[in-house]
Amino acid sequence: MRVLIIEDDSETATFLVKALKESGHTADWASDGISGLELAREGAFDVLLVDRMLPELDGLSVIQTLRKEGNQTPVLVLSALGDVDDRVRGLKAGGDDYLTKPYAYAELLARVEALSRRTIPGEQTTRIAVADLVLDRLSHAVTRAGEPIALQPREYRLLEYLMKHAGQVVTRTMLLENVWDYHFDPQTNVIDVHVSRLRAKIDKAFDKPLIHTVRGAGYVIRDSE
Amino acid sequence: MTASKYSSPRATLRTTIFGLSALGVAAYLVVTAVMFAAIVWQLNRVFATDVLDSLSAEVRTLATIEESGGTDALRTTVQRLSRGSNARLYYLSGADGSKVAGNLAALPPRFAEEGSGGMFPYRFGEGPRAGERYAAGLAVALPDGGRLVVARDVEDQRQVIWWLRLLALAGFAAIALGGLGLGLVASRSVLSRVETMSEATSRIMVGELSGRLPLAGTGDEFDRLSESVNAMLARIEELMHGMKEVSDNIAHDLKTPVNRLRQRAEATLRTAKTAEELGAGLGQTIESADEIIKTFNALLLIARLEAGAIEETKTKLALAPILTDAVELYEPVAEEAGVRLFAERIADVSVDANRHLIGQAVINLIDNAIKYGRHSLQAGNGKETGSSDTQANIKVSLHQDSGRAVITVADNGPGISAKDRERAMERFVRLDKSRSLPGTGLGLSLVAAVARLHGGELRLDDNAPGLRAVLSLPV
């Protein structure tokens, strides 16, 4: 995956370039809005990481310009402004996701990977399968090895989100935002308990666990260890 | 000193009130001056016409007498008339120019010419009571070369007009002086009020934040202004006080975790020999950093809420789903903690509010109830809680009460003693029992800030046993 980082702080940018490379991606860096816009126009990127406050041209204007020109590259907005309003403004400008500084790298990586997957066709499929676990998005029926599994509505949505991002790490914050629509960090790890409940229904009766905990990051649903 | 700026004479003359009174006086003077001038002019005209008419009538009569009776008849008539009223003056001269009859001592110099007439001064009386008066007269030339002057004393009329003029001038002067004087006094009094206000603000500006503008107690416009300024000052003081408190608390409460972070990093650097030990040490360091970030985020949010800048994000919001969602989110956590969390009596109430903030407030209340209600209950009982009486539970409910939506989160834990309840809502206050638990100490103050921002309030009540947090919002 090719990532473009538009960020004026060179230390942050250097860290991100290095870390993304270690995670198996390639990353380019632009240090101001204008050069970032020019690089992004070349269109060879899978995801853009855009800081809101940039010299020359601010981040939201960069995104707005790209969207006006028909460029649909997924954008993750990075900002020190973390209010719900700021977030709404970032998404309105055409950002696909919003991450508040300071952030954990694992969080950023999970979101970048989730964004890049967004453009892959087939997201709208009605039937998602991971190994022998099958989720039917029309009937909301979930089966594993052909056996029906009864889920609460919220458990269903949690599983659906995990399966939509099968093979990708999904952080607790992403779950809280996308499954519950809460945009803040609760002090208790409420998500863990929900996931372990879901796990009990999906994995307990079967030999091969599908939902895995990724230490320091979140969860992933996948076929293999 | 700034005070002198207001007490100087120039400042007094430059006030709006003085300017207005000066303008008023000037306008009044112009109008009355025109009026007086018109009156005097009219009076003069009436007097003059009057006198001239009677003079020419008399001159005609005397001319008739002279025509019929000759110069002698005229002389006797003039002599007779001269003895009459003091106001009627005559002078008759012969062909040689010498006086023949009349009560005027001499021919007024200008009357020597043909057909002349007008105002002239004449000597009157004798001795010490003698004086000069004015008269108006007409002169006619007689056929024998003599000259007749008929005049009327007009001194009284002159006096009337003179007095009138004097009166007008005196009145003008009085009005001008009085008006300007009053203007000055008013100006001074306004200035002195402004001066005291300005002194008070100067004192406040240099740091005496508890200072207020003085009230005269008259309830006038200055008092009203002072009152609203004082209300503003009170709010500013409150905010400044809050800021100071926050910065003190930040200094105190953030230094501790920052210091902990530092110590962990130092310890790792000093003692870690293997890569694993290093990794563990760094992990701990990151945890400490996250803790600090959380505290900062909560603080920033509270600060923003207290600045009150979210008005545009309010929407008509049904509260029931917010509560059931929050209960649903926390129910598993509560169950794992051995607490029964349930929603009961959820009414259908809507408020004008920001969905995210209300959601976060409700979640903070539930989070608190699980954390402190349960924890202290166990600590208090020490042992397993067997009977159903001591089953920890948290009840979330919503009802409408006299125009307010009332959200209640009630637990049956140990509660908070009455004296600590107010304090528990303050920033960073962590009551002794909770110090060992994770948390920023900002949860309840955030809820309180959310409540205030929406025009509502957070109250902590005794649930006997337990704590009942009541968040009420205007519908």
What confidence category does residue B214 fall into, taking pLDDT thresholds of 50, 70 and 90? Answer: confident
C-alpha span between B172 and A178 (Å, rounded): 86
Contact status of B112 with chain A (Cβ, < 8 Å)? no
E strand or H helix that includes residue B307: helix B275-307
Q: What average pLDDT does range B214-226 have in this prediction?
A: 85
Residues contacting A74, CB < 8 A, separation 6+: A46, A47, A48, A96, A97, A115, A116, A118, A119
Map residue B316 onto helix, strand or coil: strand
The number of C-beta contacts closer than 8 angstroms across A and B is 57
Taking only the tens place, the pLDDT of each residue in B83-100 is 877 778 888 888 777 888
What confidence category does residue A3 fall into, taking pLDDT thresholds of 50, 70 and 90? Answer: very high
Cβ distance B294 to A187 less than 8 Å, yes or no, reads yes
Provide the pLDDT for residue B387.
45
Give the total residue count for chain B.
Answer: 475
Provide the pLDDT for residue B381.
44
What confidence category does residue B9 fall into, taking pLDDT thresholds of 50, 70 and 90? Answer: confident
CA distances (Å), origin A137, targets A126, A160, A199, A201: 5, 8, 19, 18
CB atoms within 10 A of CB B420: 14
What confidence category does residue B5 fall into, taking pLDDT thresholds of 50, 70 and 90? Answer: low
Angle at B231 between CA B227 and CA B237, to 5 degrees: 140
The pair of three-digit structure tokens given for residue B405, joined into one six-digit string: 């939506």
C-alpha span between A105 and B282 (Å, rounded): 14
B136, B52 contact by CB (below 8 A): yes
What confidence category does residue B406 fall into, taking pLDDT thresholds of 50, 70 and 90? Answer: very high
Q: What average pLDDT does range B74-88 have in this prediction?
A: 82
Asked whether residue A145 falls in the same domain as residue A101, the answer is no
Provide the pLDDT for residue B392.
83
CA distances (Å), origin A152, targets A198, A201, B52: 9, 11, 123
Provide the pLDDT for residue B13.
76
Give A129→chain B minimum CA distance, Å: 26
Asked whether residue A83 falls in the same domain as residue A49, the answer is yes
Q: What average pLDDT does range A96-122 have in this prediction?
A: 80
pTM above 0.90, yes or no: no
Judge whether residue B4 has pLDDT over 60: no
A chain contacts of residue B290, beta-carbon cutoff 8 Å: 104
Contact status of A215 with chain B (Cβ, < 8 Å)? no
Cβ distance B304 to A190 less than 8 Å, yes or no, reads no
CATH number of B311-381+390-474: 3.30.565.10
DSSP states of B248-282 as a string? HHHHHHHHHHHHHHHHHHHHHHHH--SHHHHHHHH
Q: Euclidean distance between the first and final Cα of chain A, in Å?
A: 23
Asked whether residue A39 falls in the same domain as residue A90, the answer is yes
CB atoms within 10 A of CB A157: 16
Q: What average pLDDT does range B430-437 have in this prediction?
A: 56
Backbone angles phi, psi at A145, to 5 degrees: 50, 40
Beta strand B99-101 pairing with A75-79: unpaired
Q: Which of A187, A191, A201 should we substitute to test contact with B (largest number of B Cβ atoms within 10 Å)?
A: A187
Asked whether residue A110 falls in the same domain as residue A159, the answer is no
Asked whether residue A133 falls in the same domain as residue A107, the answer is no
DSSP states of A197-209 as a string? HHHHHHTTTSSS-
* Residue at B118: amino acid letter: G
Judge whether residue B276 has pLDDT over 50: yes
CATH no. for residue A205? 1.10.10.10
A40, A31 contact by CB (below 8 A): no
State whether the Cα torsion A22-A28-A31-A37 is positive or negative.
Answer: negative
CB atoms within 10 A of CB B64: 11
The single-letter DSSP state of residue B435 is T
Contact status of B292 with chain A (Cβ, < 8 Å)? no
Taking only the tens place, the pLDDT of each residue in A183-203 is 877 767 888 999 999 998 888
Domain end among A118, A146, A167? A118
C-alpha span between A66 and A6 (Å, rounded): 13
The single-letter DSSP state of residue A223 is S
Crossing angle (nearest 10°) for helices A59-68 and A33-41: 30
Provide the pLDDT for residue B388.
47
Listed residue (B98, B102, B100) closest to B89, CA to CA: B102
A chain contacts of residue B370, beta-carbon cutoff 8 Å: 188
B chain contacts of residue A187, beta-carbon cutoff 8 Å: 294, 367, 371, 438-440, 443
Domain end among A67, A101, A118? A118
A28, A76 contact by CB (below 8 A): no
The single-letter DSSP state of residue B386 is -
CB atoms within 10 A of CB B236: 12
B chain contacts of residue A183, beta-carbon cutoff 8 Å: 356
Asked whether residue A70 falls in the same domain as residue A29, the answer is yes
Map residue A17 onto helix, strand or coil: helix
**Which of B333, B354, B443 lies closest to A190 in CB terms?**
B333
C-alpha span between A162 and A169 (Å, rounded): 9
Domain end among A118, A147, A172? A118
B354, B314 contact by CB (below 8 A): yes
Listed residue (B302, B330, B348, B319) closest to B453, CA to CA: B302
Burial class (CB in 10 A: 0-12, 13-18, 19+), B231: exposed
Asked whether residue A131 falls in the same domain as residue A114, the answer is no
B chain contacts of residue A88, beta-carbon cutoff 8 Å: 313
Provide the pLDDT for residue A132.
86
Asked whether residue A141 falls in the same domain as residue A209, the answer is yes
Map residue B285 onto helix, strand or coil: helix
CATH number of B209-307: 1.10.287
The single-letter DSSP state of residue B129 is G
Residue A87's domain comprises 2-118
B439, B386 contact by CB (below 8 A): no
Asked whether residue A22 falls in the same domain as residue A39, the answer is yes
Listed residue (A28, A41, A22) closest to A2, CA to CA: A28
**Which of B304, B332, B440 lies closest to A194 in CB terms?**
B332
Taking only the tens place, the pLDDT of each residue in B167-192 is 888 988 898 888 888 888 888 888 88
Strands (E), B116-167: 117-124, 131-141, 147-153
The number of domains in chain A is 2
